Amino acid sequence: SKTLVKRLMDFLKLKNLDISVRIRGYFVPVSHFKKPICGNRIMLTGDAAGFVDGFSGEGIRYAILSGKTAAQTTIKAFDSGDFSERIFRDYQEKCYSTFGRDLLCSEKILKHMKNNRDFMLETALLDAKSLTRYLQTITGDLSLCDFIQWLRERTPFLLTKKIIFGANVRRR
């Protein structure tokens, strides 16, 4: 993290910007539809709405999807002249139907992994195909829920592999 701070300071100096500000990091909120993301004349998108996969930290795809949905909803609001929470609730429902299931799956994974994190990750990483499929969820090529279902079907194989070969097996 010191390297990142130095790079930021170098960039600020290069652009003749104030470098006397205190740099602080913050957690990105992960809400998973537990709080409203819209109200009268307002819609939250991306990180502000908590659209972050708590397991992988990925959020850019959700920011793009929610931004696009917010833009479509805004056009409807202008066309109707209605900027009430009622019209913006459609935005919240569209976000949930588009990617809410994946974010909720991510939350479930985190809950299950909380006490068994090392075991679960080592088991999944023993198999290159599992890692490749998981990376497809980060790029949006595969739904996280579909990945979990695929992984469930392979769990006996992965656990057996872990028991027989242990965590020291190198992936190819």
Q: Tens digit of pLDDT for each residue in 118-171? A: 665 666 666 778 788 888 888 888 887 788 788 777 776 666 666 665 545 444
Alpha carbon distance 52, 63 (integer Å): 8
Evaluate whether 37 touches 73 at the Cβ level (below 8 Å): no
Evaluate whether 105 touches 61 at the Cβ level (below 8 Å): no
Q: Mean pLDDT of all residues in the chain?
A: 81
Evaluate whether 136 touches 142 at the Cβ level (below 8 Å): yes
pLDDT greater at residue 27 or residue 40: 40
Dihedrals phi, psi of 79, to nearest 5 degrees: -60, -40
The pLDDT value given to residue 78? 96
